[in-house]
């Protein structure tokens, strides 16, 4: 426990600091897996019972409850097959009680079938997204994402800009 300025110990302060540290470590691990494609530490990063709310581009269905480590391995393979040079960089990170929110910049070159639907474009993209994670026992247990898929698709040449009138 850490004493306050008045010398009184506050267990909640230590608990929050520990939650933040564990959440930050788990999110950094998640980003490292995405950047390297090495999901060997998936079981330490994500909970076995993981709720995925983020759906893939061109999809309307959320995966829902999944096996966390298997899902992280599959999502990483799926992304890196499309963008072998995918790089995610953490710009900002914020914390709530059991939440970690991260602003990420992503770049990559599309060299594989885009979402299994479109041929590779060979073009690069750069876009931001936010990822919200619920943390349980030091591991990521739930995920929401808000991505700028439209800008990425325009940069990849999948979607054209409308003509001016």
Neighbour-count burial of 109, counting CB atoms closer than 10 A to its CB (0-12 exposed, 13-18 middle, 19+ buried):
middle
3 has a pLDDT exceeding 60: no
Q: Name, in order, each residue with C-beta under 8 angstroms of 19's C-beta and a sequence gap of 6 or more.
A: 95, 97, 98, 135
Q: What is the pLDDT of residue 9?
A: 47
Instruction: Give the pLDDT band (50/70/90) at residue 133.
Output: very high
Q: Output the average pLDDT for the chain.
A: 89
Q: Is residue 78 part of a domain?
A: yes
Q: Is residue 10 part of a domain?
A: yes
Q: What is the pLDDT of residue 13?
A: 45
Q: Is residue 162 part of a domain?
A: no
Q: Is residue 164 part of a domain?
A: no
State pLDDT tens for residues 110-130.
Answer: 999 998 889 999 999 999 999
Q: Is residue 86 part of a domain?
A: yes
Q: Which domain holds residue 62?
A: 2-155
Least confident of 82-86, 136-140, 161-165: 161-165
Q: Is residue 160 part of a domain?
A: no
Number of domains forming the structure of the chain: 1
7: tokens are: 């010398």
Q: What is the pLDDT of residue 16?
A: 64
Q: Is residue 161 part of a domain?
A: no
Q: Domain holding 25: CATH number?
A: 3.10.450.50
Q: Is residue 60 part of a domain?
A: yes
Q: What is the pLDDT of residue 75?
A: 95
State pLDDT tens for residues 38-96.
Answer: 999 999 999 999 999 998 887 888 899 999 999 999 999 999 999 999 999 999 999 98
């Amino acid at each position: 426990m850490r004493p306050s300025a008045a010398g009184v110990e506050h267990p909640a302060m230590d608990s929050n600091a520990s939650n933040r540290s564990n959440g930050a470590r788990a999110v950094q691990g998640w980003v490292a897996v995405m950047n390297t494609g090495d999901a060997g530490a998936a079981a330490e990063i994500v909970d076995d019972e993981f709720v995925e709310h983020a759906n893939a581009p061109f999809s309307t269905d959320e995966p829902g409850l999944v096996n966390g480590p298997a899902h992280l391995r599959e999502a990483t393979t799926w992304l890196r097959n499309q963008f072998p040079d995918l790089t995610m960089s953490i710009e900002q990170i914020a914390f709530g009680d059991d939440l970690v929110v991260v602003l990420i910049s992503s770049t990559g070159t599309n060299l594989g079938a885009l979402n299994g639907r479109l041929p590779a474009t060979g073009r690069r993209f750069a876009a931001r997204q936010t990822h919200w994670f619920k943390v349980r026992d030091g591991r990521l247990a739930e995920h929401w994402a808000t991505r700028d898929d439209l800008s990425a698709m325009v940069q990849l040449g999948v979607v054209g800009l409308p003509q001016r009138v």
